[in-house]
Structure 1
């Protein structure tokens, strides 16, 4: 969400920062304007009346802490800007270089009442004044979306953009419309809701290797549910690395690692035993751990194993599927039999200190977002929302899950 300025700056569109009801009842600025008003010009030779645009109306509650104290002036400049709390404490702020906007130095406090005064002057002594008292959004009345991947990261071609919201969203269209995802590759990107708190974005096919993905989050003031308003307003960018897709054939006990269309390694593996088979399907590496404890009690196998130092573990599902190093299995099982409780095991040593081992090599050569495909296992295909595994959903069904 960006704005292009003409010779005279346009007012901030307050509909993005106020509740819908407040906008409808009170207007979205200290000096509201209609489309007809914006088209009017002063008579030739007359000075334009300065116009003050605010992001709060007098008496309004639930105002954004990010933009509620902002002032913008058309056809003039700011002569005075004052923002104080109800008890008279001054909120520091500064004007822009052209003196047409003024903003607090930091976000306002939640659930706090403020008095805002703005005076603007224009040509030939023209003057305008606005005074409003407003109360910012209470901290309990906001929703926040955590997301992956992180800004500035480099990921594999399978990494979706995944948001998890801390409150159930009822107006999915409003929230989804507040997030845009685009790729330098030009691939079409579509969102899909998994329930009321998770929204993932992906293209029809894997991201193009070497592309840059931009995520624009414009949720400030968006009403996601009753007493749940967004505050986030940021842009996130990440890059897609080389293409690496590794295919596990559970029946052959092998994994073929293909990078940029060329096989670079064929690794002997052990997959899930007949009593605890590995999921089939396309799975995305969502977490990398040099060493981690794996306790069967956490995934329904209480008493069957508890290994405190599993080396080179990479998560493939929320339910506990990993591809990881295995030092406790005999060398003879790799490439010959399936003995695990559902994970894909690669030969390794305790402590993971031997870089020549398959487990260490695969860990060092994998990115978050790389794809691991499992075939010929005796289990079903993994659910699309079990991990970052929406690639297992047909595109038509994926698109149908968008709220736009």
Structure 2
């Protein structure tokens, strides 16, 4: 009987060893039957443990990583089936690129165009509706422009201008992306005055406030066109800052019918000057004009006036201040008699003030005094002339356009 019981026990033990060996080999035995702690590999994870969740959100960054010579406008960060939570963009110098996530959380945009001739590192994070996060990254470089456009303007930093000053940009070529170009030129006025631009055609952008500037205002102009694609394949080529100050408020009103010019300075009438404006055949423009240049003695010739016969002239004209691009001036007149001023209009469209003989005119004449008291940006209004209204793009005459259409 003992031998029988012994054999049964041995048989049972053998069965257990076989089962254990089978379990170690990764067969059908549940992982809970593997070696106990302290022997072998230890217990495996329970079969009920959940696998890591995959976010439904898909982040897309353009350009793709490794892209070279990308256009700055090609940069986009977006997400589907989720919302962006954080986006970081740094340039090759390690500086962060300012930007913001859209209100709907579906995209991110830089505050200004990415710089050309630079490289960028981008990392974007997002989460789906269940809060499961995901991320994506990209490294790429932007192109170096092969063609640029000029952006010449009429501001000289540190200068003082009159209250009618309009800042005008000439690009020298047709501009396609007018909205992007206008957005890249911003103003910072010390009194908070807001400035808006208006395109005079597709090559010239004029910028002004709703009303005349206030005397004493300091104005900074921030120009960020270097990385703006102004036309297909053409970039602005220039980033710069300019500044100027607004001086006195001089507004002069020319009454062509009365042959007078009333000069108002800082809200007070300071003098009434006898003048001679355009004749009936060549009347002066009506409207608000601005002194855009003080030219001293200017060479004026009738060769620029087709078909002017009789009345041809070729003169050195003293104390000349340009009002329009087409050739309207306030200037000294030293060839007409004293009796002309205040009584008759004899010019070819300009506003003439009495002056002394000689190319330089006098130093104590009505023309000389007005010239010395004036600055670029001062306002000259003409009323009661038989001429047409001056066009807003003729000189700095944008004040003749209502703010609602500016």
TM over 0.5: yes
CA drift of 1:251 comes to 0.5
Kept in 1, the 8 Å contact 2:116–2:145? The answer is: no
CA drift of 1:258 comes to 0.5
CA drift of 1:36 comes to 2.9
Instruction: Choose from 385, 390, 399 the match for 1:382.
Output: 390
Q: TM-score, normalised by structure 2?
A: 0.68
Instruction: Name 1:360's counterpart in structure 2.
Output: 368
**1:395 pairs with 2:395:** no
3-state SS of 2:327 partner: coil
Specify whether residues 53 and 206 from structure 1 end up closer, same or farther in structure 2 by C-alpha distance, changes over 3 A only: closer
**1:313 pairs with 2:320:** yes
Instruction: Choose from 53, 70, 75 the match for 1:23.
Output: 75
Instruction: Name 1:327's counterpart in structure 2.
Output: 334
Question: In structure 2, what is the Cα distance between the partners aligned to 1:265 and 1:308?
Answer: 28
Question: In structure 2, what is the Cα distance between the partners aligned to 1:277 and 1:186?
Answer: 39
CA drift of 1:308 comes to 3.2
Question: In structure 2, what is the Cα distance between the partners aligned to 1:172 and 1:330?
Answer: 51
Instruction: Name 2:306's counterpart in structure 1.
Output: 300
Question: In structure 2, what is the Cα distance between the partners aligned to 1:356 and 1:203?
Answer: 36
Alignment of 1:104-183 (within 5 A): 136-138=144-146, 141-183=147-189
Gaps of 5+ in 1: 1-16, 26-33, 40-49, 56-63, 75-129, 399-404
**1:233 pairs with 2:283:** no
Question: In structure 1, what is the Cα distance between the partners aligned to 2:317 and 2:119?
Answer: 53
Kept in 2, the 8 Å contact 1:142–1:228? The answer is: yes
Specify whether residues 159 and 68 from structure 1 end up closer, same or farther in structure 2 by C-alpha distance, changes over 3 A only: same
Specify whether residues 305 and 35 from structure 1 end up closer, same or farther in structure 2 by C-alpha distance, changes over 3 A only: farther
Taking only aligned residues, the RMSD between alpha carbons, in angstroms, comes to: 3.1
Kept in 1, the 8 Å contact 2:319–2:361? The answer is: no
CA drift of 1:218 comes to 0.7
Q: Deviations 1:283-311 (Å, cap 9, x if unpaired)?
A: 00001111111011213354533333100
Aligned length: 299
Specify whether residues 357 and 172 from structure 1 end up closer, same or farther in structure 2 by C-alpha distance, changes over 3 A only: same
CA drift of 1:23 comes to 2.9
Q: Deviations 1:146-188 (Å, cap 9, x if unpaired)?
A: 1112211100000111111122111111111111123112222
Q: TM-score, normalised by structure 1?
A: 0.68
Question: In structure 2, what is the Cα distance between the partners aligned to 1:177 and 1:22?
Answer: 18
Kept in 1, the 8 Å contact 2:251–2:265? The answer is: yes
Q: Deviations 1:231-274 (Å, cap 9, x if unpaired)?
A: 21111110000100000000010001100011112100000001
Specify whether residues 321 and 225 from structure 1 end up closer, same or farther in structure 2 by C-alpha distance, changes over 3 A only: same
Gaps of 5+ in 2: 1-68, 78-83, 98-112, 124-137
Question: In structure 2, what is the Cα distance between the partners aligned to 1:356 and 1:37?
Answer: 67
**1:348 pairs with 2:348:** no
Question: In structure 2, what is the Cα distance between the partners aligned to 1:302 and 1:381?
Answer: 22
Specify whether residues 216 and 357 from structure 1 end up closer, same or farther in structure 2 by C-alpha distance, changes over 3 A only: same
